[in-house]
Chains A and B, each alone.
Chain A
Amino acid sequence: MTVYLPASLEEAFEAFELAPDADLLAGGTDYMVEVNSGHRHPSKVVALRKVGELAGWRREGDEVVLGAGLTYTDLMQPDLSELLPGLAQAARTVGSPQIRNVGTLGGNLGTASPAGDTLPVLSALDAVVVLGRRGSVRRLTMHEFVLGPKATALEPGELIVEVRVPAALGSQEFLKVGTRNAMVIAVVNVALVVDWVGRSVRCALGSVGPVPIRAGEAEAFAESRIDWAAGGLTGGAADLAEFAGLVRAAARPIDDHRSTAEYRTHAVGVCAHRALDRVLARAGSWTLGHAS
């Protein structure tokens, strides 16, 4: 068995050139569980713990560029959570402090579990996933990157370098249903972004399909019913109910050990209803701030 311990991105690319078939190890919260249980027998591992470049973030104009090695704890810090409130909300629902301290954004993407908590947020933000190898870079949308349950477009020798998302975009909400408040894998998770300037609504659903689902019809309906000047819905409670119904219709859940398709369909509607309701309840500050 070989473990590579690159200390820079350059060294990580080099390690991957030597061993394109190596496993990538970030926080280990999924990988080591499989090793410990004997379900995975590692032979070559590139451990990213020492690659400092992956653990930073920067603002570039209207975008935030997030290093793939940022942990959930990093995403919850005030400076980042102000720019990406939905992502911070999602990060806070992951595992426990011990898990959040090591689990990374890149790891959540690379694992591509249908229940991954950052995935619906990144989908709703139209995030761009930047994949790299020495001398070349690919930029993929979430839709292009996540191909199925635990399947991504990542090619051998390629690693997730960063994720680009819009900074402080409108109002954001993340809701998650699980069996308890800590240490729980989502039965359903929902991310909602309402962009008061661009007058768009983006709603992404997790754990109710093989990949994060954008509820396109629900988004278009909400866009047509939001009173963009005053902040409410023109049809009031009936519009909220209709929005939730369109979200339920977009979900493609299955029965599994964590829940049933029937419950997931119900819960995803409740979450979407609540998310839009909360965003609209806070809308006053936005419409005031952007009144022409």
Chain B
Amino acid sequence: MSDLITYALKVNGREREVVGAWLGENLLYVLRERLGLPGSKNACEQGECGSCSVLIDGTLECACMVLAGSAAGHDIVTVEGLSPDDGELSDVQEAFVAEGAVQCGFCTPGLIVSVHDLLSRNPDPSDLEVREAISGNLCRCTGYGRVLAAVRAAQETRQR
């Protein structure tokens, strides 16, 4: 099994060892199955749904389309890395709870990462900018109404 190797990834500020892995694995698989970070979800494995959205060097990407080994040496932030402490919620997560922007919850982690990305780049997005920013995150339950309300609430909280 010479094809299995061990390498390191920097995830949520910590160096993590990926042990005995096949190099062709995508980052989503490595995060979930090898590093115990199941926040990023696997729905489509083709970049369509956005459930596996993560930040790599501050850029929003679908983890399923990243060859995990190629992310070595880069800063990876998952939804688990966005909340301040274990058990606490980020302001965006709080807004999603308060506005009822969650139904089945499967798309929620990806949406949370995308909204964090949006508000960090653009603290005062228009409705259209919000819609465009989450256009790569599919939600089949909420109809997006509560999600848009949650983004607006998070935006207002930050501006207070």
Contact = CB atoms under 8 A, between A and B. Distances in A.
Interface residues of A, number: 29
Contacts, number: 93
A28 B136 contact: no
Interface string A86-98: 0000000001111
B143 to A, nearest CB: 16
B64 interface: yes
Interface string A1-16: 1110100000000000
A247 to B, nearest CB: 30
B146 to A, nearest CB: 20
21 contacts: A3-B67, A3-B69, A5-B69, A5-B70, A5-B72, A29-B47, A29-B65, A35-B67, A37-B45, A37-B46, A41-B24, A45-B23, A47-B67, A96-B50, A97-B114, A98-B61, A98-B114, A102-B61, A102-B62, A181-B135, A183-B136
A178 interface: no
Nearest to A48: B70
A96 B135 contact: yes
A237 to B, nearest CB: 33
A44 B132 CA distance: 36
A252 interface: no
B59 A101 contact: yes
A98 B73 CA distance: 20
A97 B72 CA distance: 23
A147 interface: no
Interface of A: 1-3, 5, 25, 27-29, 32-33, 35-37, 41-42, 45, 47, 49-50, 95-99, 101-102, 181-183
Interface of B: 3, 22-24, 26, 45-48, 50, 53, 59-62, 64-67, 69-74, 114, 117, 132-133, 135-137
Contact of B66 (A3, A28, A42): A28
B65 A45 contact: no
Given A1-B24, A35-B24, A37-B45, A98 B69 contact: no
Contacts of B48: 183
B136 to A, nearest CB: 2
A1 B22 CA distance: 8
Contacts of A41: 24
